[in-house]
Chains A and B, each alone.
Chain A
Amino acid sequence: MGWNRKILRVDLTSGTCSEEPLNMEWAQEYLGSRGLATKYLVSEIDPRVDPLSPDNKMIMATGPLTGTMASTGGRYTVVTKGPLTGAIACSNSGGFFGAEMKFAGWDMIIFEGRAPKPVYLHVENDRAELRDASHLWGKSCWETEETIKHELQDPLVRISSIGRAGENQVYYACIVNDLHRAAGRSGVGAVMGSKNLKAVALRGTKGVSGIRDFGAFMQATNAAKKVLADNAVTGQGLPKYGTQVLMNVINEIGALPTRNHRDVQFEDAGKISAEAMHEKRPTDGKPHLVTNAACFGCTIACGRISEIDKGHFTVKNNPKYWGASGGLEYEAAWALGAANGVGDLEALQYANLLCNEQGMDPISFGATVGAAMELYEMGVLTKEQIGLETPFGSAQALARLAEMTALGEGFGKEIGLGSKRLCTKYGHPELSMTVKGQEFPAYDSRGIQGMGLAYATSNRGACHLRGYTVASEVLGIPVKTDPHVTEGKAELVKAFQDATAVFDSAGICVFTSFAWTLADVQPQLAAACEGEWSMDKLNEVGERIWNMERQFNNAAGFTAKDDNLPPRLTSEPAKTGPAKGMVNHLDRMLPEYYQVRGWTPDGVPKPETLSRLGL
């Protein structure tokens, strides 16, 4: 059956943990993880709730394939109302934590209320208890993991925690598990911090039982693994080069947002690329990259483990950072690098380590630094206000601001507000490169038109993981489309959005979709889960999840006006590269998108759309 059929509900206010059966009717309609947790959230909270108040809830959820033999089946999702955006927040993480939740016998954990003092949740199979975390408050994610493992005398316990950023409610604080995997976006770590919940420590020894047809499941997962192994992207490209291989591609096509999107190409892109990670450094003769790494059950292994140059100014007096650790991935390398004009790979890795250590989303952090650097160059922010000089390209400024933000010191508190609040506070909201308050990832939509629509309509604010049309528009997966045209992009964006919702809700990694289509996922789900799991049903589930998230956002106060892009992208043409002279034509795509979705011209799902989807 894929599901454990069991939910853990944790009332932080009263300090009680209780068990509930999983709503199996909902599981048939929303599958698991992202979809099912969102269904619970929207059924239990007022959409207008203050995200950082005790009335908001936070759900950690697995999918039916989490913890199973399915490749990449280690994913879990954190669903809540996000403080960065005020929209639905849904952040997905790999590592081993998700599978452990399944092994302990639970499908999801719902946190509600606020603990009177810092606590952490300890779950050992059926037993769950809240423990005092006063001694952990103020510690980093890394120290928290170590301390909990030590005090439980269990090196195999799997831990998700917040660092100082989550405690300080940095608007883009994340939740870090297994040292360097994170539910990264939209500030889910700030919600956890607002609840005085420092960590969740899980230990499960039950394995996953109840697969509907075990023989068929093994056959389906083996066949699907072969597809991943035989595919040049998932079998060779991602394990060897990681996601960062995109740095040169996206720069070459003129869609690498640079210096807060002032430019679309970065002169130092090569220095922060996957290829550079493989090159021996002149300083110590070692390459930055040590090895690749895999999350639970993953046969792709795109993860990067690197070693920083011990002599670099950022760490030469700080041996704590000398060991091999996670990074750099493409998004982090872009946000910490090109977005600020910084081409120093070691400085980027240092900032990335701080993000992992104290639990901050490197995309939103890096992009906010980019905005602050632009405000500084314009003279709106001064050295006196910030406490240091922050011109574009300054590795020193990046490193120092990362320290200040991670620890909540001085101007770091302002960087912790995120780009939208920062730019608005200093009188230049138009310089915030965000949608619905969330910072863009690493693709400039002037050169990749479909991504403009994907960003504008993403239910969690600007994001590449809700509808990654880059796959089609740039990489030719599954078919190549022209990144410079708007025709056909409405359908393309919808198709990517709906399919991604299914991948996320199944409990697998969306990177499988570089080789798999839903037709590869369907036999795995059909063998694992009770009920009928046809392609038609999966497509409908994806669309249902998308519309449910949209309805929540509409009820939270969002309107079609929020399906927008900053004026820089729609009125300042790209200065160089193949997209030179182009802006994003969201205005041409959006009405068509609403139509394709079965929404009114105001972006509201029509009654017939809702009834078709059973919403």
Chain B
Amino acid sequence: MRIAFKLFASLSDYLPAGSRDNRIDLDVDEGVSVAELIRRYEVPERNAHLVLVNGLFIPPAERSRRRLQEGDEVAVWPPIAGG
């Protein structure tokens, strides 16, 4: 199934070649979890601070339980803030 994976700020270094605008569209197996996807791209767990699926926050404890579905957009940031 097709999903989008987006890594922002300092995490963009973990995106594979061929990604543009902090984003890559991927084919992944059914049932892959958010945590597995993040691990697959070797994003250190402590840096995956703000994890959103379709814009909704996924707390750390739910990341391995939350299975991705066709069309999901996963976006990850390190600890950041602004104002």
**Mask: chain A, 208-239; 1 = CB below 8 Å from B; 0 = not:** 00000000000000000000000111001110
Residue A352 at the B interface, CB < 8 A? no
With A237-B80, A514-B81 in contact, is A249–B12 under 8 Å at CB? no
In the bound complex, how far is the Cα of B78 from the Cα of A231, in angstroms? Answer: 12
Inter-subunit contact A270/B21 (CB<8 Å): yes
The stretch among A123-131, A288-296, A428-436, A472-480 that forms the contact with chain B is A472-480
B65 to chain A, nearest CB (A): 17
Inter-subunit contact A252/B79 (CB<8 Å): no
Residue B14 at the A interface, CB < 8 A? no
Inter-subunit contact A475/B80 (CB<8 Å): yes
Inter-subunit contact A252/B10 (CB<8 Å): no
**Mask: chain A, 148-167; 1 = CB below 8 Å from B; 0 = not:** 00000000000000000000
**Mask: chain B, 49-77; 1 = CB below 8 Å from A; 0 = not:** 11010111101000000000000000101
What total count of A-B pairs have CB within 8 Å? 88
With A270-B22, A275-B9 in contact, is A243–B82 under 8 Å at CB? yes
In the bound complex, how far is the Cα of B56 from the Cα of A468, in angstroms? Answer: 20
In the bound complex, how far is the Cα of B81 from the Cα of A237, in angstroms? Answer: 7
In the bound complex, how far is the Cα of B29 from the Cα of A407, in angstroms? Answer: 59
A467 to chain B, nearest CB (A): 12
Residue B16 at the A interface, CB < 8 A? no
Closest to A245 in B: B80
Residue A531 at the B interface, CB < 8 A? no
User: What's the dominant secondary structure at chain A's contact region?
Assistant: helix
Inter-subunit contact B55/A330 (CB<8 Å): no
With A237-B81, A270-B22, A510-B83 in contact, is A254–B55 under 8 Å at CB? yes
Task: For A275, give its contact among B22, B79, B81 (CB under 8 Å).
Answer: B22
With A254-B55, A270-B21, A577-B55 in contact, is A476–B49 under 8 Å at CB? yes
In the bound complex, how far is the Cα of B82 from the Cα of A331, in angstroms? Answer: 9
Closest to A248 in B: B8
B68 to chain A, nearest CB (A): 16
Inter-subunit contact B80/A468 (CB<8 Å): no
Task: For A253, give its contact among B8, B10, B52, B80 (CB under 8 Å).
Answer: B52
Task: For A475, give its contact among B8, B10, B54, B81 (CB under 8 Å).
Answer: B81
Inter-subunit contact A480/B9 (CB<8 Å): no
Inter-subunit contact A233/B55 (CB<8 Å): no
Inter-subunit contact B8/A464 (CB<8 Å): no
Closest to B52 in A: A252
Residue A381 at the B interface, CB < 8 A? no
Inter-subunit contact A233/B8 (CB<8 Å): no
In the bound complex, how far is the Cα of B56 from the Cα of A254, in angstroms? Answer: 9
Interface size class of B (residues with CB under 8 A): 20 to 34
Closest to A473 in B: B57
Inter-subunit contact B9/A511 (CB<8 Å): no
User: Chain A contacts of B50 at CB under 8 A?
Assistant: 249, 475-476
In the bound complex, how far is the Cα of B48 from the Cα of A476, in angstroms? Answer: 13
Inter-subunit contact B83/A233 (CB<8 Å): no
B54 to chain A, nearest CB (A): 6
User: Chain B contacts of A475 at CB under 8 A?
Assistant: 50, 80-81
**Mask: chain A, 244-288; 1 = CB below 8 Å from B; 0 = not:** 111011001110000000000000001000110000000000000
B73 to chain A, nearest CB (A): 8
Closest to A481 in B: B57
Residue A305 at the B interface, CB < 8 A? no
User: Chain A contacts of B57 at CB under 8 A?
Assistant: 480, 482
Task: For B83, give its contact among A240, A465, A577 (CB under 8 Å).
Answer: A465
B69 to chain A, nearest CB (A): 15
Closest to A515 in B: B81
Residue A542 at the B interface, CB < 8 A? no
Residue A242 at the B interface, CB < 8 A? yes
**Mask: chain B, 2-26; 1 = CB below 8 Å from A; 0 = not:** 0000101110100000000110000
Residue A566 at the B interface, CB < 8 A? no
Inter-subunit contact B59/A237 (CB<8 Å): no
B20 to chain A, nearest CB (A): 9
Closest to B12 in A: A275
B16 to chain A, nearest CB (A): 17
Closest to B57 in A: A480
User: Chain B contacts of A270 at CB under 8 A?
Assistant: 21-22
Task: For A232, give its contact among B49, B52, B56 (CB under 8 Å).
Answer: B49
A333 to chain B, nearest CB (A): 10
Closest to A246 in B: B82
User: Chain B contacts of A233 at CB under 8 A?
Assistant: 79-81
Residue A567 at the B interface, CB < 8 A? no
In the bound complex, how far is the Cα of B52 from the Cα of A579, in angstroms? Answer: 13
- Docked complex: A475-500 residues within 8 A CB-CB of B: 475-477, 480, 482
Closest to B83 in A: A243
User: Chain B contacts of A464 at CB under 8 A?
Assistant: 83
B47 to chain A, nearest CB (A): 8
Inter-subunit contact B55/A252 (CB<8 Å): yes
Residue A471 at the B interface, CB < 8 A? yes
Inter-subunit contact A252/B75 (CB<8 Å): yes
With A241-B9, A249-B50, A252-B75 in contact, is A471–B81 under 8 Å at CB? yes
User: Chain A contacts of B82 at CB under 8 A?
Assistant: 238, 242-246, 330
In the bound complex, how far is the Cα of B77 from the Cα of A237, in angstroms? Answer: 10
User: Chain A contacts of B78 at CB under 8 A?
Assistant: 232, 236-237
User: Chain A contacts of B49 at CB under 8 A?
Assistant: 232, 476
B46 to chain A, nearest CB (A): 8
17 more CB-based (< 8 A) A-B contacts, given A236-B78, A480-B57, A480-B59: A231-B79, A233-B81, A241-B80, A242-B82, A243-B82, A243-B83, A244-B82, A245-B80, A246-B80, A249-B80, A252-B75, A275-B8, A330-B83, A470-B83, A510-B83, A511-B83, A578-B54
> What are the 7 A-B residue pairs with the smallest beta carbon separation, nearest first?
A243-B82, A578-B55, A232-B79, A246-B82, A237-B80, A514-B81, A330-B82
A interface residues (Cβ-Cβ under 8 A, vs B): 231-233, 236-238, 240-246, 248-249, 252-254, 270, 274-275, 330-331, 464-465, 468, 470-471, 475-477, 480, 482, 510-511, 514, 577-579
Can you list 10 residue pairs at the A/B interface with Cβ under 8 Å? A232-B49, A236-B10, A241-B10, A246-B80, A246-B82, A274-B9, A470-B83, A475-B81, A476-B49, A480-B59
